[in-house]
Each structure stands twice: as C-alpha cells, then as structure tokens.
Amino acid sequence: MDTLTALSVVALAALIHASFQLGVSIITTLSSYARGRKAPNRTLQRLTGGFLGGVMTMTLLTVSLAGCIASDFYRSVSTPQSWTIITILLVSIGVFVWLLYYRRGDGTSLWIPRSFSRFLQRRIAQVSLITEAYNLGLASVASELLFVAVPATAAAISLATLPLQWQIAGITLYTIIASLGTLLVTVLIGSGHSLSSIQRWRERNKHFLQFAAGTGLIVLGLYLYANQVADVTVKAAGL
C-alpha cells in the first residue's frame, strides 16, 4: 500500500471514529452539570479541556498500540486472509450501527446498557476536578472500543510499512480527525453557545450521523477488500 492510499485509509477511519457520539454526549452532560452548579466559565473550560485531553490521549494510545502490534507482526496481519477478516468485522459493525447505535424513540440515548449509562451519569455529576474530567475522557473512548477498535486497527496496519515519520504523521492525523467532534463541541461550549442548541442539533441530525458512521464502516471494509484482497488475488493469478 503506497503512502497516499495509506493516509486516505487513516483519514476515512478517523472520520468514522469522529462520527460516534458517546464523547459528545458525555461532554454536553458534563457541561450541563457544571452550569447547573453555577460553576465559573473558567472552571467549565478547564473541565471540558481536561475531558478533550483524555479523549485525545486514549485515541492516540489506541491507534499507537495497534500500530506497534501491526509493525511487529506485519507479515502475519497483512495477508489477504487477515484483510478479509477485517472487512467482515467492518461490515458487521457498520450494519450494527445502522440498526442499534441509537435507542428507538426521541432523544439521543445511545446503545450502551442502561446500568452503565446510570453509572456514567453518577460519575459525570461528581466531576469537579480537571483530573476527573481527564479520566472521564479516557473512559469515553475505551467505552466505544467495540466500534472504533477495528477502523483504528485497519488504519494502523495500513501505516505499518511506511517510514517512521509517515507512521507518526498518520497516527497524529488519526488522533486529530477522530477527536474533531469533541473538539468542536468544546469550542462551542467555551464560546458561550447554549447546550440546548447543541442538543437540538444532535437530535435533528442523529439519523444522518448514524447512517454516515455505518456506511463509512462498510465503505472502508469494501475498499480494503478490493485493494488488499481482490487486487492481490488477481495479481497472484497473473490476470
């Protein structure tokens, strides 16, 4: 896989990652509790900044770990069979996102179990320190590894044969793009936008975001299959 193709896979995988909404949901709820306590705007900015830092750190660690494993075991993981498995996982998760990512009905309740949702609500309500917000950011990414681990792994394997400087650039690109949703909401909250307007936008566009995330996973899977399985098979057959 050449450099441009690898970076395009990284960018698409990161955009898919960015379309998932747990981090955005948590940061808006965190801000709502902080404003309900009449916290100063500076405190609110520190909390949202800490949360964003946790999100970016865990995203960086996730794709970096996948990259280290891919680099060490590239000959094992970069085979048509491995890419076929990744394609199947991407398509399967894409269909799952289409069907089940949001709970049925009004609002923006996500797929997570209600018991875990109540746990998050309690944790969010207790956050008052930047370190707690940072840890919450770490947890938000870890909680969605079911969805983001496979695209992150696909991006990491795509980068594995590139020179080190391109691997670092690709991992940085992935981290920034994948965190854009949370970053944008952080900026909007810090600039004084109302949480109700942000929530209304999420409610109006939730089906589009759900469709985009699911479709992106499927498109990425089919692209990787065509590029890494079908093309390799055709060349090996001498056609």
Q: Give the residue-averaged pLDDT of 95-121.
A: 74
Q: Report residue 165's pLDDT band, with 50, 70 and 90 as the boundaries.
A: very high
The pLDDT mean for the chain works out to 84
Question: Stretch 207-213: mean pLDDT, rounded?
Answer: 87
Q: What is the pLDDT of residues 14-37, one digit of tens each?
A: 999 998 888 888 888 888 888 888
The structure tokens listed for 74 are 């590239």
What tokens appear for 109 in the block?
A: 């309740």
Q: Euclidean distance between the first and final Cα of the chain, in Å? A: 19
Q: What is the mean pLDDT of residues 160-186?
A: 91
The model carries a pTM of 0.87
Residue 104 has pLDDT above 80, yes or no: no
Would you place residue 207 in the very low, low, confident or very high pLDDT band (cuts 50, 70, 90)? confident
pLDDT digits (tens, 9 = 90+) for 50-86: 999 999 999 999 999 988 887 776 666 567 777 888 8
- Please tell me the total number of residues recorded for the chain in this structure: 239
pLDDT of residue 194: 83
